Amino acid sequence: MFIDQAKISVKGGNGGNGCVSFYRAKYITHGGPDGGDGGKGGDVVFEADSNLTTLVDFRYKRSFKAEVGADGGGRNCSGKAGKDVLIKVPVGTIIKEASSGKIMVDMRAAGQRMVLIKGGKGGKGNQHYATPSMQAPRYAQRGFNSKGYDLILELKLIADVGIIGFPNVGKSTLLSMVTNANPKIANYHFTTLSPNLGVVRTRERDFVMADIPGLIEGASEGAGLGSQFLRHVERTKVYVHVVDAAGLEDTDPVEGVKKINNELASYNEELISRPQIIAANKMDILPEAEENLARIKAEYEPKGVKVIPISAASNKGLNELINAVTDILETFPEEVVFEATFEEYDDIQITEEPITVEKLEEGLFAAYGPSVEKMFGYTKLETEKGFAFFQKYLKESGIDERLKELGIQEGDTVNMYDLQFEYFE
């Protein structure tokens, strides 16, 4: 089953908590702090797998969570790191953040790996907080929480050549005759309900050809099935535009090419500038085919578009067509064609999430919470701008006011995850 879109949820593993522990042994009743650090949480990793061609597996499993890190232990023992979760997707899969629709990563190369979410760091054990004036700290750092997202996975097939045209003009037949593909073929509209891929093997080179189904007038606006498949046209280098030269489908072949090209341009203007060859199919069925072929050539060859008469069912003209495609690919850049621009996902935002501010002991305070973690993740405190943002955040988030309510004095210490600083008005 071909599925080219899926919605899933992913969550990185939280870090383990640091441990509060003190060394105990025979004849040693008041040993120093020896609490170990918590383990790092597992990452969420995506991998582009060339053996996959569909997102069908995500119909049955939609939630993925990395393992949490283990808590630290006594005797300076660190907790075990959580296991990563590896999610394999087909080559050409775009990963979008569901609520904003913005692209987070494009998995367009076989074997490509991307750590989408890093696991939370483990909290520090109490051994890290011992000072000459505080030799027995009875607190440790909690593990850092990891992020979670709802994602849209969208597959855009990567092929060198895309076969386009109206339904029932012979696209699937052409694919079956020149490649190793075996699509279902019948004489009715919308025979092909999913893209088919095949490999063309020539002496010069091998290349991938895809049959793009569902294109009709209005497809770019959602008519028929075209809106579901136009995304697959974006990653092809050359178009073989198949038309019914015999006119059996009640569509004038000259106007048919114009209509399909208009749909490409409406969907993405850049698509219409890519190389295109017109394959005038069904030339051996009716005498009118020769007249239509002459009209197609008169209309499009002056524009630099090559027109080749073929009969896909009887294999006539296919060698000339494949040679013409090969000539174009020989001079075409090897890199994958992709949309020129897209809006990337930007996670820099401080949301109104709960913040905990507490007094640990005399002269020592702590502030933590999801928004505090995010603030540290995206703020460079060593820069003047970053430090100014940090001060502004303390006031706007209410941390500064809450510290005053707890009785903080100048010179007291405040812990905020990895940061420890002295408080001054």
Q: Is the pLDDT of residue 321 over 60?
A: yes
pLDDT at 202: 84
Q: Is the pLDDT of residue 182 over 80?
A: no
* Contact present, 355 and 372 (Cβ < 8 Å): yes
Q: Which residue has the higher pLDDT, 415 or 88?
A: 88
Highest mean pLDDT among 139-148, 293-302, 400-409: 293-302
* Contact present, 125 and 35 (Cβ < 8 Å): yes
Highest mean pLDDT among 125-129, 213-217, 325-329, 375-379: 325-329
The values of phi and psi at residue 198, to 5°, are -150, 160
Please tell me the least confidently modeled range out of 6-15, 174-183, 321-330, 405-414. 174-183
Q: For 194-215, write each residue's pLDDT tens digit.
A: 677 788 888 778 888 988 875 6
How far are the Cα atoms of 184, 225, 278, 304 from residue 190, in angstroms, in the given order? 11, 9, 21, 30
Q: For 74-119, write each residue's pLDDT tens digit.
A: 999 999 999 999 999 998 899 999 988 888 888 988 899 999 999 9
What type of residue sits at position 205? R
Pairing of strands 5-11, 63-65: parallel
pLDDT at 418: 67
> How many Cβ atoms from other residues are within 10 Å of residue 27's Cβ?
4
Q: For 332-366, write each residue's pLDDT tens digit.
A: 776 555 554 455 555 544 445 678 888 888 888 88
Rounded to 5°, angle at Cα 222 from 210 and 101: 85
Angle between helical axes of 171-178 and 318-330 (0-180°, round to 10):
80
